[in-house]
Chain A
Amino acid sequence: MSDLRRVMCVEDDADIRMILEFSLGTVGGYEVRCCAGGRSALQQAPEFRPDLVLLDVMMPDLSGPETLAALRELPVMQGVPVVFMTAKAMPDELEQLLQHGATGLIVKPFDPMTLPTDIRPYWEHGRGRPAA
């Protein structure tokens, strides 16, 4: 794990998945794997071995916090930073979200041109750390 290469995105909105592919893949040059929900992320994580996960908060079926808790159980996910993406904006709501043990938070709408560099600090500071 010498560099940030593989980024997994978990997002139920197909259009936002496309933006993320473009932003992190085309602009950022990362290897991107987009999943439409928490269950698919849990299935694909062991094989994809992400260096960082961007996780939407409000998803049907399995929510962001629920997915985060389940991901943390996977051996392959130990020490992998998980960053929430959320369209919520109230500071108290954001604080509550971080208490679920995510490494950080990206607020939607995000700038797709700077997102590849915006996520780097979370990887640099969050990797290798045990889950909170």
Chain B
Amino acid sequence: MEAERTPLQILVVDDMLASRRALCALVAELGHVAVGADSGHAALALVQHQRPDLVLLDLLMPDMDGFEVTRRMRGLTADRWLPVIVTSSLQGEEHFIHALESGADDYLLRPVSAGLLQAKLRHYGRVLALQSRLSTLAQRQRDILDNILDPVLTLDARGLVAELNLAALALADRDGRTLATGMACEAVFDCTLPELLGRREVQLQRAGGGSFSAELGLSEWRDDARVQVTLVLRDLTERREVERMKDEFLATVSHELRTPLTSVLGALGLLAGGAAGALPAAALPLADVARRNGERLSRLIDDILDLTKLEGDRLVLHLRPQPLAPLLREALAANQGYAHQGGVTLVADGLDEAAPEARIDADRFLQIMANLLSNAIKHSPSGDTVRVSLAATSGGVRVSVRDCGPGIDPRFRARMFEKFSQADGTDRRAQGGTGLGLYITRMLVERMGGRISADAVVGAGAAFSVVFTAAATAPRGDAP
């Protein structure tokens, strides 16, 4: 660590040549560099051009006295601290007090004592070294902040911009003014600070015009009990473009996969259906194996496409309040064929009672029901019943699907809503599932603001419940 800054460059201001020379010689003897000035005006010019570390200033000079020189020096060195030590042979302390009040830092009686000067210069050397370290550190922090490519803003508790980095200067408020300290949260983000705290994404204006979406990173912290909020704003334009390309790629891939599958499944369906003449009895199960697996491949493509969109949070949902009963009837009708194949009866309860509406996406709700119903049917022995019920709960709507199958293995329950999880490997092969159904179902339910849960005892069937919050209905006086 640097103990003191040696040598110091010291400006010696004195109109008397002899005493200036003597003081310069003393300064040099103490190991520092002296620069002489014979007047207040000359001193002020040198302060600007030589940037001395310290000034030894004679109080009594003809052109401008030391008090005035001190005042003017302070004006010239607003960006740094320049210690000024006034010297005088005048007796009494009033003029020294006056000098300190004018902005001087210290005083020395003339003739200047070598020992005292040495001690004072060592002291100021230490303070200057500390100050230089602090400003280096502050500059380094500033450089780090300014070299962050994302705009970084700090708002105070009132929601005013307290600090901003270089990148934030490329932004403008809603009136097109370049961002500056003191601007209000509302002017920049179009919302209050408490509202902003709940957001993850904001729309920002560029100083050059135009706007963009940005991801909002928020850190709340305290500076002496005063709350500060630092915001890191990440431009999402590029990420959105990558996501768009990824979606396009996925759509193309799924199209390209489905096209040959259409021919494969079509040809197999026609063969198995006897469109090309009756197949030998031994060939029928083979055609069936090929067809079933082709269909499974087709479901996997659908599921993976859904999964990618769900996980990337890019699935477009068309949410609107609607009654669930008609949709449930549609879901039951759509799965009747599969139930019939498996010898399973579908029974519905509560579809005629007026249940509250829920804010959902109809197509995706049908997909949820198709998943739950096909699961229930798949796990039901022939001759069994799958019950679907719709009921109002406090503030919500509950849809349940219950089967009388073998139930859910407790070891599987913990991970049943995860990706690629199935009760066991043999199940996957025997039943032709993809292992994604319940995961996608859960994601869809949650994206619509609902919750899914399973309730099962081994050997006593499985029940899946989906609960959606009731849509806020128009005031009719009967809302709970």
Contacts and interface: CB of A to CB of B under 8 A. Distances in A.
B266 A92 contact: no
Closest 4 CB pairs of A and B: A19-B266, A87-B258, A15-B263, A113-B273
5 contacts: A13-B263, A23-B275, A26-B276, A90-B316, A92-B316
A112 B269 contact: yes
A113 B262 contact: no
Interface stretch (A37-45, A65-73, A103-111): A103-111
Given A27-B275, A58-B255, A111-B269, A89 B263 contact: no
B364 A112 contact: no
B298 interface: yes
A82 B255 CA distance: 21
Given A109-B265, A109-B266, A27 B273 contact: yes
Q: Which residue, A26, A90, A92, A110, has most C-beta atoms of chain B within 10 A?
A: A90
A88 interface: yes
B261 interface: yes
B258 A109 contact: yes
For chain B, give the interface size range: 20 to 34
A91 B263 contact: no
Interface in A80-104: 87-93
A109 B273 contact: no
Contacts of A88: 251, 254-255
A108 B262 CA distance: 6
B262 A109 contact: yes
Contacts of A26: 270, 275-276
Nearest to A93: B251
Given A91-B364, A92-B318, A112-B266, A22 B259 contact: no
A89 B254 contact: yes
Contacts of B361: 91
Contacts of B301: 89
Interface in B292-333: 294-295, 298, 301-302, 305, 309, 316, 318
B288 interface: no
A53 to B, nearest CB: 18
Contact of A91 (B265, B275, B363): B363
Given A92-B316, A113-B275, 15 more contacts: A15-B260, A15-B267, A16-B266, A19-B263, A22-B270, A22-B275, A23-B266, A26-B276, A87-B259, A108-B261, A109-B258, A109-B265, A112-B269, A112-B275, A113-B270
| Dominant SS among interface residues on chain A | loop
A121 to B, nearest CB: 14
A108 B270 contact: no
Interface in A11-41: 13, 15-16, 19, 22-23, 26-27
Contact of B258 (A19, A90, A108): A108
Nearest to B367: A91
B309 A110 contact: no
Contacts of A91: 361, 363-364
Interface residues of A, number: 22
B292 to A, nearest CB: 13
Contacts of B305: 89-90
B259 A112 contact: no
A23 B295 CA distance: 18
B263 A16 contact: yes
Contacts of B258: 87, 89, 108-109
A112 B270 contact: yes
A23 B263 CA distance: 12
A16 B270 contact: no
A113 B276 CA distance: 12
Contacts of A22: 266, 270, 275-276
Interface string B178-207: 000000000000000000000000000000
A85 to B, nearest CB: 9
Contacts of B267: 15, 19
Given A22-B275, A90-B305, A91-B363, A16 B259 contact: yes
A19 B266 CA distance: 6
Contacts of A19: 262-263, 266-267, 270
A110 B262 contact: yes
Contacts of B266: 16, 19, 22-23, 109-110, 112
Contacts of A89: 254, 258, 301-302, 305
Q: Which residue, B254, B273, B361, has most C-beta atoms of chain A within 10 A?
A: B273
A58 B260 CA distance: 14
A23 B446 CA distance: 41
A79 B362 CA distance: 30
Contacts of A109: 258, 261-262, 264-266, 294-295, 298
Nearest to B265: A109
Interface in B238-263: 251, 254-255, 258-263
A77 B266 CA distance: 28
Contacts of B261: 108-109
Contacts of B364: 91
Q: Which residue, A23, A87, A88, A93, has most C-beta atoms of chain B within 10 A?
A: A87
